[in-house]
Each structure stands twice: as C-alpha cells, then as structure tokens.
Amino acid sequence: MIDNYNRKIKHIRFSITSKCQYSCLYCDREGYSRTNELSVEEITRLCKILAEILDVTRIKFTGGEPLCREEIIQIIKNVSDLQLYKDISITTNGLLLFKKAEELFNAGLNRINVSLASLKPNVYKKIYGSDTLEEVLRGLQKAKEVGFNPIKLNFVLMKGLNDNELEDMIEYCAKNDFIMQLIELHKVSDAIGGNGNFYEKYHLDVKPIIEMLEARAEEVKVRGSMQNRKVIRLPNSAVVETITPSHEFCMGCTKLRVGCDGNLFGCLYRSDLGKNIKEALRNHHSLSKYEQIVKQVVDSREPYY
C-alpha cells in the first residue's frame, strides 16, 4: 500500500505496552495509551491482518518497555509461528534482557535494539533514572551469546551529558560487533518539547559529527528503504547508522505504527490522526473492513518535517 507521497509501507512498528521501569529524560511515550492494551490474541490477529493487507515481512515490537509485557515470549512465538514475517525485532531498554534473551531467541525473535546513551554509571542514571547500567551490559553480552545478530545500540547524543562518550561508544560497538545508531535529539515529544528549555540545553547538531565520521570512513551507504539513513563503516570495523530529524528523513519513512490500544497511525508525531482498530478486531470484521481502516491511516501520512 502506497501513501500520497509515493511511500510504500514496508515495516510495522507495534507497541505492546505503555509500561516501563525507566523515566528517560527524552522519552517520546511511543504508543502510550491510558486505555486497555490489546490482548495476546488480538495482537497476533492484527499482525496477521497487517501482513496480508500490506504485504509486509518486517515488524518491530516496542513499548513503553516491551519486555515488561508478561506475555512477551508468547507474543513473539505467536507472530513467528504465523510464518509471515521474515524479520521480527524489538526495541528495549535492556534491563530484562539477561533474563529473557534466550527465551526470546528461541521464540523466534531475530534482532534487538537496545537504548544505551552512556557507558558511565552516573551519566546512565541521570539519563534513564535508573542505576542499572551493569545489568544492561550483562544483558547485551547474553544476547550476543545466544545468537542475536545484529544487535543495535541506540545512542541519543546530548550536549553536556554524553557527547564526550562518542568515541568510547564507537569502540565499544566495534569490540562487540554491535551497530551504533547515532540519534539526534528531537523536540517534538512531550518530555522534551513540553519541558521548558530541555531541547535548547541538550540538543546537539550531529551534522558536523556525521561529516567527521564520513571523512574517516572506509565506506558510506544510504539505506534508501529505511528513512534514508547513512550507514558509515569505520576503519576499526565499527558501523554507525545516523538518525536525524529532517524532511529527507521523513520522506524515507516506510512505517505504519500500532499503539498498544490498537490505534493505527502513520507518524510518531501525529498519533492524533490515527484510527483505532480494536472494535473491528473484537467484532471479527471481514478483511475488506480492516483494509478500509488501514487505507485511511496510510492516506493520512505526510512528512512531519
């Protein structure tokens, strides 16, 4: 299915809970809802419906913190058993990864993204509101041990907080064969945009940093099917993907998002344009009814920047 800007939907990003153990400084409350979460059966059925309507084979589960969802292993197994998705991934804070990595892998999860904005315990605690860095690092090693590949680390760069850790993070990723996602702070979320001068205090333009990395690079590619992200391979074998809010970034967006309450929406920053599909799921409508709802959402998509 193609939107009005000739962008084909290729990926599903599905929030399965709004619960989280952390209180991150920059949280964008993705998929947040005060209403009831979809059941495991509803999640499984919706994943099947979306795969059939959109002909997508990639899905990422998010939260809140998806590992807080008690049935997370069953959800992954159910979706894997559909045999419709070739790539099932998850974005997590990593706190429960040590305990659940092996079960997740055995259930059919292919990849993980872990939020890791600092390798220093005091800075980590300031950013995430939790003194749990060592547990997260243990979880990463466990995930690597059980066979997850690739493992990506989401490094949100913040001025005066972790901007002096860029090279350390690159080395850590090179040493462990992780991919670093260098993310520029955006100002749209409630936590940032609604928090006085937070953005002005911590935002750092990553363009000069990207240019510096490109000058050192052995290879630079652009992931045209994934928001036009640059992928920079450095001489030490580190791989850095860049995520910067911009019109070009938005024009490369191929995601359809699902909130934990069943709200379908086409842009992280415009969930208000979404359509809730929960009632249709509970009434077991025909595929054409679901297709009508999905098309309305896809037609509402437009570049935010």
Q: What is the pLDDT of residue 302?
A: 85
Angle formed by the axes of helices 40-54 and 72-81, to 10°? 30
Decide if 221 contacts 230 (C-beta within 8 A): yes
Q: What is the pLDDT of residue 225?
A: 59
Homologous superfamily in CATH for domain 11-300: Aldolase class I (3.20.20.70)
Decide: helix, strand or coil at residue 209: helix
Q: What is the pLDDT of residue 190?
A: 53
Residue with the two structure tokens 């659940």: 100
- List the chain residues with pLDDT less than 70: 28-35, 188-196, 224-227, 247, 249, 305
Instruction: Record the pTM.
Output: 0.92
Decide: helix, strand or coil at residue 91: strand
Distances in Å between the Cα of 144 and the Cα atoms of 14, 111, 126, 173, 177 are 24, 10, 27, 12, 9
Q: Domain map of the chain by residue range?
A: 11-300
* Mean pLDDT, the chain, integer: 90
Q: Which run of H or of E encompasses 243?
A: strand 239-243
Q: What is the pLDDT of residue 193?
A: 47
Q: What is the pLDDT of residue 280?
A: 86
Q: What is the pLDDT of residue 143?
A: 98
Assign residue 228 a region (left: φ > 0; alpha: ψ between -120 and 50; beta: otherwise). Answer: left
Q: Is 40 exposed, middle or buried (0-12, 13-18, 19+ CB in 10 A)?
A: middle
Alpha helices (H) along 204-246: 207-216
Q: What is the pLDDT of residue 208?
A: 95
